[in-house]
Structure 1
Amino acid sequence: MTRAGLLRTGIIAAALGALEAACRLGAIDRFSLSPPSEMATSALRILTSGEYTRDILVTFATVAGAALLSVVAGFALGVLLYRLPRLKRAADPFLASYYAVPSFIFYPLFIVLFGLNRWPLVAVAFVFAFVAMAIASVDGFLSVRPILLRTAASLRLTRMETLRHVILPAAAPYLFTGVKLTIVYAFIGVVAGEFILSGSGLGYRIAFAYQSFETATMYGLMLILICAVVTVNMLLWSHEKRLHARLTR
């Protein structure tokens, strides 16, 4: 592990230790906030009991579907904006102010369009996430150095060959950033939607545990959700580092 990794791990361990001590010593009301050790115990109990397995799988499947659609649509929009500079200039003000409007206001409309099922949650998460991928994609394409494009032209590469062998590798760091943001936004959209109107999923179970004063269950479910998001992003970050190292050799 690098020095930065050790420092990061030390800071996290110290923060968790301080929170554990504060809860155990009564500085923080344990009814409001469980010690990290009890959160971990509750999360392990939830995973081993299988009581919430269906809700966990439903949420993760919904997030996966929304994230996949967002990545594909966002990448396609990024390519379109890159190939049509006039369209990009016209769309820039809308992209810059896009997240000023909360996507959850469209939830009633999506219920009317798709019915009382999981598709409105997918739609909310998609609306919330795909623009992040589009912005990251077009920024990545615009960051490609002109010398690389001139070299591709001198080699008489087709547009698809240039995109595959020149533009995509050069824009990879931006694309990975877009994918990571898309996954995070998809989780936010789906779980927040489950908080509002849903009869299943992690968000629904967390809200139900909160309303029922089941503090241990609530924090256990929250820990499972946090660990899942962090794990996915760390896997993407690790793959991004390996790809960057291979490209810079």
Structure 2
Amino acid sequence: MAIILVFLEAGPRSGLVDSFTLPPLSAILARASQLLVEPTFWYRYLGPSLLAILLAFALAAVGGIIIGLILWRFAPIRRIFDPWLSIYYAIPTFALYPLLVVVAGIGLVPVILLGALLGIVSVITSTLDGLDSIPRITIKLARSLQLSTLDHVLKILMPSIVNQVVVGLRLALSFSIIGVMASEFILSTYGLGYFISYAYDHFSVNDMYAGIVIVLFFALGVNFLFGLLLRRRGKRV
């Protein structure tokens, strides 16, 4: 990593790499710092992207857990959906965008839905894996206590599968970021993905790389937080 960082700085300055195609790393970081203190950048580009990612992740997380619980509870329904879950990521999700536009209109909603659709399956599968790993004796004990359905889920099932669900949520967040950024890059007129696309089309190289760096640091930051959560959870267990 140190060698790569040195090359990104020294390569353009020494002429080894065309400085127009790839500016020095220090210039990119300086431009990213400037963008992060500009209110317009937050209002039109970064803010909408963060909101879309947050809502897409929330939909994927809540919907994935609920759907996973339903599929686990009703075996016939699970047998129907299992093949689709296996091939889901081979389906071009962005092909659904015209349908989403017809249903939800043009704007933030289709971007959020695409991000959620991209992330939800990882939560469903991790929830199912966790539920399948619960010992049968635990399920029998829960039934013998005659708990309500809500208490059964919140006090028995969810605490038993939290480790697996957190792993699925980590993947869902990554997929939500990818889905939102890609949607904005191709289909939107605002957001950080659109900012990078616009900078690329208009040869604003510094802005383009600065946007990419902001996305990179954001993705690394949230993945670090999830990794920290997993480590703390492991120590408690």
When normalised by structure 1's length, the TM-score is 0.86
Moved more, 174-183 or 162-171: 162-171
Q: 1:170 to 1:195 in 2, by over 3 A?
A: same
**Which residue of 214, 225, 228 corresponds with 1:238?**
228
Equivalent residues, number: 235
- 1:206 equivalent to 2:193? Answer no
Map of 1:31 onto structure 2: 20
State whether structure 2 residue 9 is matched by structure 1 residue 20: yes
Identity of paired residues, percent?
30
Moved more, 99-108 or 12-21: 12-21
Please state if 1:121 is matched with 2:106. Answer: no
Give the SS at the match of 1:97. Answer: helix
Shift of residue 194, structure 1, vs aligned partner: 1.1
Gaps of 5+ in 2: none
Which of 55, 71, 76 is residue 86 of structure 1 equivalent to?
A: 76
Unaligned ranges ≥5, structure 1: 1-11
1:110 aligns with 2:100: yes
Q: Of 73, 79, 85, which residue of structure 1 is paired with 2:63?
A: 73
1:5 alignment partner in structure 2: none
Deviation, 1:70, is: 1.2
- The TM-score, its normalising length taken from structure 2, stands at 0.90
- One-letter amino acid matched to 1:178: G
2-structure distance, mates of 1:18, 1:151: 60
Deviation at 1:147, TM superposition (A): 4.1
- The amino acid across from 1:34 in the alignment is P
Q: Determine the C-alpha separation between the residues in 2 that align with 1:28 and 1:171.
A: 50
Name 1:50's counterpart in structure 2. Answer: 39
CA distance in 1, matches of 2:214, 2:64: 28
